Amino acid sequence: MSWYRNTAWFVKGLREYTRGGYESASKHFNPADVEVDVGGRSFLVTGSNSGIGKATAKEIARRGGTVHLVCRNKERAQVAKEEIVTETGNQNIFLHIVDISNPKEVWKFAEKFRNEHKLNVLINNAGCMVNNRELTEDGLEKNFATNTLGTYILTTALLPLLEKEADARVITVSSGGMLVQKLNISDLQSEKGTFDGTMVYAQNKRQQVVLTEQWAKAHRNIHFSVMHPGWADTPAVRSAMPDFYEKMKNSLRTEAQGADTVVWLAVSAEATKLPSGLFFQDRQPVTTHLPLASTHSPPEDEEKLMEVLEEFSQKFRYSSPG
C-alpha cells in the first residue's frame, strides 16, 4: 500500500506538507537567516539538474557560493548549469557527470574531487523511486543503490575533505514518507515479498535518517542534518507518483518552497546553533516517529546498517577503475 494511503501520514501531510503548510510555516521564518553572502564557500549538490536540487543550487549561486552540480544526465545538466549561470550571474558553477546508483563511479568521482577541490557543504539530494524491482549493472536494487548506498559512499568518501573546513555541513534530502517505515536491515535489497516502490523508497528515506544520526555521533566537527521538503511539484513526483500527482497537483509546493529548508540548512548561521543529526521540516527540527507508531529501532540494528553499508562500500572501492 502506498504511503499516502496511510491515514495518519496522509492527514499530517494534508495539514503540513502541502503549499498551504509551507505558507503557514513561513510566516514564522526570519528572512535575515538566508540573506547571507557565501562567497568563498564551496557547495556540492547531487541531483541538481531539476527539481529541488536545481532550486537549491540556484539559491546558493545567488548568494555567491561556488556550486558543484553532480548530475547523471549530461544534456539536462548542461541546460541546468546554463540556466543557473544566466539567472544568477555567478560563473563559479561546475558540472560533474556521475551516476549515484553506480558505487564504483561514485568512488572514482569522490577520490578525484578530493584531490582537486575544497568542500564546505555537501547536499545529498539525488534520489530515485523505481516502482518495479530493477537491478543495476552491479546487481544492486536500484532504489537502494541510489538513495542509500550512493549517499553513504559519497558522504563517507568526502568526509576527509569536509573535516578540513570550518563550519562544514552535510544535508540529506529525505522524505516524511520515512515516518511509515521502521528500519529493516534484513531485506536491504527488497528481495522478499511483493515489491512496492513507494514503500522501498520510504524505507531508504528511513535509512537516510539513521545514517545522519550515526554520522552526527561519529563526526563532531561537521554539522549533519536531514530534512523533508514537503510535497513539491517536481519532475520526479510527476513521473514516479502519477496518481498522487493528479490527486494533489493543485496543492503541491513549488520547487523553491521545497528547497527552502535545504538552503536554510546550507547557508544560515541559525541552523548550526541546533544539534547535529536532527530531522527538519520548514526550518524546524521535528520528530522522526509518528505518535504510537512502532518505528523505533534498537541501537544494534542501526549499527548493523552502518556495518553492512561499509562492507558494500569497501567492496566497490577496491574494484573502482582508475
240-294 pLDDT, tens per residue? 778 887 888 888 999 999 999 999 999 999 999 999 999 999 999 999 998 878 8
Q: List, in order, residues 6 or more apart from 171 with CB less than 8 Å away.
A: 121, 122, 123, 124, 224, 225, 226, 227, 262, 265, 266
Q: Quick one: average pLDDT of 186-200?
A: 95
pLDDT for the residue numbered 12: 76
Name the residue type at position 90.
Answer: N
Structural domain of 271: 3-315
The CATH number of residue 55's host domain is 3.40.50.720
pLDDT for the residue numbered 281: 97
Share of the chain above pLDDT 70, in %: 97
Please tell me the distance from the alpha carbon of residue 190 to that of residue 227, in angstroms, as a whole number. Answer: 24
| 164 located within any domain | yes
Report the domain count for the chain.
1
Q: Quick one: average pLDDT of 13-36?
A: 94
| 31 located within any domain | yes
| 11 located within any domain | yes
| 320 located within any domain | no
Taking every pair of C-alpha atoms in the chain, what is the biggest distance, in angstroms? 51
Span of 137-141, 219-223, 236-240 with lowest mean pLDDT: 236-240
Q: In this predicted model, what pLDDT tens digit does every residue of 54-87 receive, in sequence order? A: 999 999 999 999 999 999 999 999 999 999 999 9
Check: CB of residue 35 under 8 Å from CB of residue 267.
no
| 51 located within any domain | yes
Task: Kindly report the pTM of this predicted structure.
Answer: 0.95
pLDDT for the residue numbered 292: 79
Q: In this predicted model, what pLDDT tens digit does every residue of 91-111 receive, in sequence order? A: 999 999 999 999 999 999 999
pLDDT for the residue numbered 237: 82
Residue 318 is among the residues annotated as catalytic for this protein:
no
Q: By 3-state DSSP, what share of the chain in percent is helix, strand and coil, each rounded to 5?
A: 50, 15, 35
Set 4, 17, 22, 201: catalytic member: 201
| 321 located within any domain | no
Q: Quick one: average pLDDT of 104-123?
A: 97
| 322 located within any domain | no
| 70 located within any domain | yes
